[in-house]
Amino acid sequence: MFNIHPLIWLIPLPPLLGFVLIVLFTRRSNRTSHNVALVGSGLSFVASMVVFFKAVTTDGLAGSPISASINWLPTGADWLRIGVLVDPLTAVMLFFVAWTVLMIFIYSIGYHNFGQPAGRNDRPGFSPEGAEAKEHGKAHKVPSVEPMYARFFALLSLFAFAMYLLVVSDNLLTLYIGWEIMGFCSYFLIGFWYGKESARKAGIKAFITTRIGDVFMLLGMVALYSVTGTLNFHEIFSNPQTMLMLTSTQSPAFGLNWAGLIGLLLFCGTVGKSAQFPLHVWLPDAMEGPTPVSAMIHAATMVSAGVYLSARLFPLMSAGWHHGGALTAPMAAMAVIGGFTALFTSTIALAQHDIKRVLAYSTISQLGYMIAALGIGAYTAAVFHLVTHAFFKALLFLGSGSVIHGMEHGVLHTGNHIDPQDMRHMGGLRRRMPLTFWTFLAGGLALSGFPLITAGFWSKDEILNGTFTGGHIGLFIVLAITAFLTAFYTARQITLVFFGKPRSTAAEHAHETKPVMTVPLMILAIFAIGAGWAGIPHAFPVLGAISPAWFQSFIGSMLSPQSIEEAHSNIPLIVSVLVSLGGLLLGWLVYRCMETAEEKDPLQKISGSVYNLLQNKYWIDELYQKALINPSLWLADKVVYQFIDLKIIDGILHGLGRAGVGLGNLLRAKFDLPVVNGAGDGLAGSTRGLGVFLHKLQNGRVQTYLLIAVACTVVLVLVICFLIGEGVIGVTE
Amino acid sequence: MTGMQVIFLINAVVTIIAGVMMVTARRLIHSALWLILTLFGVAVVFGLLEASFFAIVQVVVYIGAIAILVIFAIMLTREAVDDSFRKNHRWILTAIIGIIALAGLLLAFFTWPQAGAFTVSLTDAQRDIGEMGLALLDPEGYLVPFEVSSILLLAALIGAVHVGISRKGGDQ
Amino acid sequence: MIPLYWFLMLSAVLFSLGLFAVITRRNTISILMGIELMLNAANINILAFWRYLYAPRGDMDGLIFTLIVFVTAAAEVAVGLGLIVSAYRKRRTVVANDLDSLKG
């Protein structure tokens, strides 16, 4: 077997190269640009698959992962090393990242209407509005190609690069670099149609909200480095002395040990990136970006990166914990935040009308699931759900993009301007878009955990089983309710979109999208169904006997023996089947009879005010606006500008001026003598002269600035050397 | 006083006079010519420092390329401006500051107790410029700075062409 | 043997001259020439310290540093003169004080 190391180094590079090539050379040609991007991601895909299969066939990979590193930055006597690391976790990450990214790239070609004419009114920064085309002798509107087509692929390539970099890096620093590049790309891609104000705002919101988490993460990294002297995962986690030191040393904050404090800080990064409560607000707004971006951010890469970080740092988070024991502080925080987020956002998803927003909230909810699972130590289950979720959520997003595309076609065709993303205007698309329907159905069933055949069932069942057998009954109930709600809103979505009769003329004229979009859907659908079979637990009735439970043994080898749980109970299994089927059935029953777009949502009829609360997302955005953003704006305007600047600083100046005037008047009145008068004039004159002199400093001429700088330097050096020190060189003696 | 010291002093006087003339010359082109003489004096200093490679590089790069480029630029931007420093009302202030700084430095050098301490002569191996060439291309040595500076040169080349190119319609 | 501080003093004088040119000359090309003089003075300094303190130890840093200063100087002159010529074409002037579009 050839040496695998260079290949691991090379995985992230083709997309980066693609980005550079597109930006510098090929941006004028749409075809070349997407070819470059496709070749880039394709090469990464191939390399990832080779590495994946190599990893799978290596025995004892977790104990001795494939890794290599080089010196990077000299830090005094030591070097900061960067390198790559492939262990079971990296391997499965590579697998699903490579597949979903490649599918999204291919899909984007169709989504951005490659090959269609350019619209007359299309401008960069706005989503294309459609072009006039003549077909069969009569003119009608057709979708037009995206004006910034090449730019899109360039940014998507950069995004893919960052994700691969994050996955293969063996230390927190390069992981953090990939992490931040992704933040940057998400800002650009969410605000891709920057002509729309909402898109601009959403981009900024995503960037700033995730940044809040990133700052804490950076603090955690700094703390980790200063305590252990390294950021390399393997060096930290496989060194019992380091781990012992981390768990036994008290940190300066909150009475936690260092592992707890660092774990909590790093977990803040996950909260931002994976959109957990209270930083979840950016993710739904991120739906302003083009749909492939939504799939990229919310399924394949960015939010997965957050969970990946937590999974990667699990040994740190769980340091000092053993199965069945009390949770450590970071784990407890993860369990609580994850469980709460899962339930909280799944209720919001019940009342959304925008097809993508429902998916966005369901993403947050499912991420909460994974975080909660990690929090109670169900490591394998969490990673398993991460993988299956990536597949079916990418599928659902791309499917919703296909639906929107079909609806847009209908909108253009009929000229009837409705929101093509509003589910109330859809309906009956089952017959119009059969391929999209079947694949979306597969994704939806996986999301709601339809028993036995879908991947989502297996991973969700694992998590529920973990919470139940771990003795966390409260969390188990929360997650079970979440699973029920998930099944319900998924059924609502599928029913509203695909079943019944079309509720608008646009829906009547929607038609199936091109193969370049539907083929990725079908491939992802295969994974959405089949990925779960890799992880059927041994203890599962009937099927467990013939299942190799490959996933459990592969990922489970990452854990130390005391964290592994083997217990299996049939109660969570039954609950999981019941909530899934019950939710789906109920959702279908409630929504199947919606006839027109104007009709009230059945839930709204039952509980109006609660429904409003949900539809407005518990007014969290408004709360942040009122409680955080407005006060800081107010502070900036009223306090800093109007009060400090205008009142205090100007006030002092004016006060000084007035005092001077008053004093002058006093002097004039009392001692109206030529001498005093002259002195006063002299003072005024010199003040004025000073003002004129200072005004001259600000004259926009570089040479003056330089002169001042040099003069100040000379004075400073003279002061330091001859007044403070003992001459220039005498100091060194 | 050794022969080397005499050479150094003569060269220093020439260099400084040339520098003063360069700074004070009324016409730009004279200034550029005095600059060339100054640069040549610096090349001699490099030679005295047993860095003969840099003495040659100084002549080739500074006098051969940079000074010529400056003269070209002067001819391209011919302008009847009296460029004497006396036109600049800040010159006295600048001169004062400069003299203070210079005096401080010179004082420091004079009072440096170890000033005459380093009198080790070099071996042939230490003068061997081939060693520097090898170190430049050695990954354990200075390969990265070397490559980075070559990229800098390339970027400057492209940038200079881009900035200096005359676009049709762009200029009035 | 020439004492080290002779070189340093020469370098200090040249540096001051260059600085004076940079601050007082009005023509941007003169300013650039002043900068060149300052860079040369710095090079003398670097090489002198290298020769007296580091070369006996077989250390290369001073030489490499000088080389990089050369490269930087060349790059700076190329871009600087390009900018000056370009500014001259647009504004018909090379006087630094007249190029004040960025004045606030």
* Interface probe, candidates C7, C13, C16, chain B, greatest B C-beta count within 10 A: C16
Q: Is residue A115 predicted with pLDDT exceeding 70?
A: yes
pLDDT at A730: 46
Here the tokens at position A691 are 């003002």
Distance from CA of B47 to the nearest CA of A (A): 27
B51 CB within 8 Å of a chain C CB: yes
For residue A718, the chain B residues in CB contact (below 8 A) are 100, 104
B13-71 pLDDT, tens digit each? 999 999 999 988 888 888 889 999 999 999 999 988 888 888 888 988 888 888 888 88
Place of tokens 């296909």: A402
pLDDT at residue A73, rounded to an integer:
62
Note which residues in 76-95 of chain B have CB less than 8 A from chain A: 90, 93-94
CB A467 within 8 A of CB A382: no
Contacts of A578 by beta carbon, 8 Å cutoff, 6+ apart: none
* Interchain CB distance below 8 Å, C104 and A700: yes
- Cβ B38–C14 below 8 Å, yes or no? yes
Comparing B137 with A321, which gets the higher pLDDT?
B137
Which residues of chain B neighbour A733 with C-beta distances below 8 Å?
A: 113
Q: Which residues of C touch B89 (CB under 8 A)?
A: none
**A91: Cα separation from own chain's centroid:** 21
CA distances from A199 to A209, A289, A422, A438, A696 (A): 15, 7, 18, 31, 45
SS3 state of residue A67: strand
Torsion angle of C-alpha atoms A694, A699, A701, A705, degrees rounded to 10: 30
pTM of the predicted protein model: 0.66
Is C47–B77 a contact, with Cβ atoms under 8 angstroms apart?
Answer: no
Of residues A325, A213, A304, A301, the one with CA closest to residue A264: A213
pLDDT confidence band for B172 (50 / 70 / 90): very low
Short-list A240, A312, A234, CA closest to A273: A312
Chain mean position to CA A542: 39
CB contact under 8 Å between C95 and B54, yes or no, is: no
* CA atoms of A330 and A371, how far apart (whole Å): 11
Whether chain B has a CB inside 8 Å of the CB on C51: the answer is yes
The CA-CA-CA angle for residues A97, A41, A435, to 5°, reads 70
Answer yes or no: do A703 and C102 touch at CB < 8 A: no
**Rounded to 5 degrees, what are φ and ψ at C17?**
-60, -45
Q: Is 60 exceeded by the pLDDT of residue A387?
A: yes
Task: Mutation target for A interface from B91, B112, B154: give the one with most A CBs within 10 A.
Answer: B112
Read off the DSSP letter of residue A719.
I
| Inter-chain Cβ pairs, chain A and chain C, closer than 8 A | 23
The token duo for B81 is 């401006």
Q: How far apart are CA B19 and CA A678, in angstroms?
A: 49
* Beta carbons within 8 Å of B137's beta carbon, 6+ residues apart: B143, B146
Alpha helices in A57-196 (DSSP H): 88-111, 149-168, 172-190
In tens, the pLDDT along A507-538 reads 777 777 788 888 888 888 888 887 777 777 76
Greater confidence (A206 vs A566) lies with: A206
What single string gives the DSSP state of each residue in A360-392? HHHHHHHHHHHHHHHHTT-HHHHHHHHHHHHHH
Distances in Å between the Cα of A175 and the Cα atoms of A169, A416, B16 are 6, 48, 55
Chain C interface with A: residues with Cβ < 8 Å: 19, 22-24, 31, 96-97, 100, 102-104
Residue A178's contacts (CB-CB under 8 Å, 6 or more residues apart) are: A12, A161, A162, A163, A164, A165, A166, A167, A169, A305
Contact A729 B100 (CB under 8 A): no
* Cβ within 8 Å, pair A701-C31: no
Decide: A490 and A591 in contact? Cβ < 8 Å.
no
Mutation target to probe the C interface, by most C beta carbons within 10 A, among B33, B84, B118, B167 is: B118
Residues C61/C49, Cβ–Cβ less than 8 Å: no
Subunit contact B113:A733, Cβ cutoff 8 A: yes
Closest residue, chain A, to C21 (C-alpha)? A703
Residues A327-384 have pLDDT tens digits of 778 888 888 888 888 888 888 888 788 888 888 888 888 888 888 888 888 888 888 8
Residue A375 one-letter amino acid: G
Nearest Cα of chain B lies from the Cα of A204 at a distance, in angstroms, of 32
Helix axes A650-670, A674-697, angle to 10 degrees: 160
**In the block, residue with structure tokens 């400069």:** B98
> Using CA of residue A573, residue A335, residue A486, residue A310, what is the dihedral sign?
negative
Distance CA A697, CA A707 (A): 10
The confidence score (pLDDT) of residue B87 equals: 67
Task: For residues A10 and A48, give the distance between their C-alpha atoms in angstroms, rounded to a whole number.
Answer: 9
Place of tokens 């000088």: C66
The pLDDT score that the predictor gives to residue C40 is 93
Helices assigned H by DSSP within B49-172 = 52-57, 67-76, 91-110, 124-127, 129-136, 143-164
| pLDDT tens-digit map of A656-709 | 777 878 877 776 666 665 565 566 677 777 777 777 766 655 666 677 778 888
Q: Supply the pLDDT for residue A344.
A: 84
Task: Rank A109-123, A130-144, C45-59 by mean pLDDT and report only the highest.
Answer: C45-59
8-state DSSP, A558: T
Distance CA A284, CA A615 (A): 13
For B128, name the nearest residue in chain C, comparing CA atoms only.
C58
Q: Do A703 and C100 touch (CB under 8 A)?
A: no
- C-alpha–C-alpha distance, residues B96 and A711, integer Å: 10
pLDDT at residue A597, as a whole number: 62
Q: What is the mean pLDDT of chain A?
A: 78
**Which of A399, A679, A615, A631 lies closest to A528, judged by CA?**
A399
Query: With an 8 Å Cβ cutoff, is C72 touching chain B?
Result: yes
Residues in A closer than 8 angstroms to B107, CB to CB, are 728
- Cα(A710)–Cα(A714) distance, integer angstroms: 6
Residues A474-480, mean pLDDT to the nearest whole number = 85
**Exposure on the CB side of residue A699, measured as CA atoms within 13 A:** 17
Structure tokens at A446: 């996986």
The amino acid at A328: T
Cβ distance A423 to A513 under 8 Å? no
| Side chain identity, residue B74 | I
Confidence band of A731 (pLDDT split at 50, 70, 90): very low
Name the percent of chain C in helix, strand, coil, to the closest 5: 80, 0, 15
In percent, the amount of chain A with pLDDT more than 90 equals 0
Helix (H/G/I), strand (E/B), else coil: A728? coil
Q: What is the pLDDT of residue B38?
A: 93
Subunits with 3+ C-beta pairs closer than 8 A to A: B, C
HEC profile for A264-278?
HHHHHHHHHHCCCCC
Residues of A contacting chain C (CB within 8 angstroms)? 698-703, 706-707, 710
Residue of B85, B88, B90, B110 to mutate, interface with A, max A Cβ within 10 Å = B90
Burial-class residue A145 by CB neighbours within 10 Å (0-12, 13-18, 19+). middle
Task: Decide if C102 and A700 are in contact by the 8 Å CB cutoff.
Answer: yes
Chain C positions in Cβ-Cβ contact with residue A714 (cut-off 8 Å): none
- Among B7, B14, B29, B126, most C C-beta atoms within 10 A, so best to mutate, is B126
pLDDT higher than threshold 80 for residue A125: no
Q: Contact, A213 vs A303, CB < 8 A?
A: no
Chains touching chain C through at least 3 C-beta pairs below 8 angstroms are A, B
Distance of CA A135 to the CA centre of its chain: 43
Q: Convert the pLDDT of each residue in A409-424 to its tens digit.
A: 777 777 777 777 777 7
| Alpha-carbon gap, residue A268 to A210, rounded angstroms | 9
**Nearest CB partner across the interface for A729, out of B93, B97, B108:** B108
- Please tell me the predicted confidence (pLDDT) of residue B45: 92
For A128: left if phi > 0, alpha if psi spans -120 to 50, otherwise beta; the answer is beta
Q: H helices within A30-87, ranges in order? A: 30-56
Contact C81, B69 (CB under 8 A): yes
Q: How confident is the model at residue A134 (pLDDT cuts 50, 70, 90)?
A: low
Average pLDDT score, chain B: 82
**Are the Cβ atoms of C51 and B51 closer than 8 angstroms?**
yes
Please report, in angstroms and rounded to a whole number, the separation of the first and last CA atoms in chain B: 63
Residues of C with Cβ-Cβ distance to B119 under 8 angstroms: 1
* Test mutation, A703, A706, A712, A714, chain C, max C CBs within 10 A: A703
Residues of B in contact with A702 (CB under 8 A): none
Q: What is the pLDDT of residues A41-90, one digit of tens each?
A: 899 898 888 888 888 887 777 677 777 777 766 555 566 777 888 888 88
Mean pLDDT score, A613-628? 71
Q: What is the pLDDT of residue C43?
A: 93
Q: Which residues of chain C have pLDDT under 50?
A: 104
**Chain B: residue nearest A712 by CA?**
B97
Name the pLDDT band for B152 (thresholds 50, 70, 90).
very high
Amino acid, res. B106: L
Q: Is-contact A531 A388, C-beta < 8 A?
A: yes
Q: Which residues of C touch B172 (CB under 8 A)?
A: 90
Interchain pair A700, C100: CB under 8 A: yes
CA–CA distance from A141 to each of A138, A503, C14 (Å)?
A: 10, 22, 73
The whole-angstrom separation of Cα A78 and Cα A623 is: 48
Which amino acid, one-letter code, is at A23? V
Q: Which of residues 100-159 of B touch C (CB under 8 A)?
A: 101-102, 105-106, 109-110, 112, 115-116, 118-122, 125-126, 131-132, 135-136, 141-142, 145-146, 149-150, 152-153, 155-157, 159
pLDDT at B19: 92
Residues of chain A in contact with residue C104, where contact means CB-CB under 8 angstroms, are: 698, 700
Band (A564; pLDDT cuts 50, 70, 90): low
Q: Which of residues 64-93 of B touch C (CB under 8 A)?
A: 65-66, 69-70, 72-74, 76-77, 79, 81, 83, 85, 87-88, 90-91
Nearest CB to C82 within list B118, B155, B160: B160
Q: Note whether A711 contacts B113, CB cutoff 8 Å.
A: no
Identify which has the larger pLDDT, A310 or A5. A310
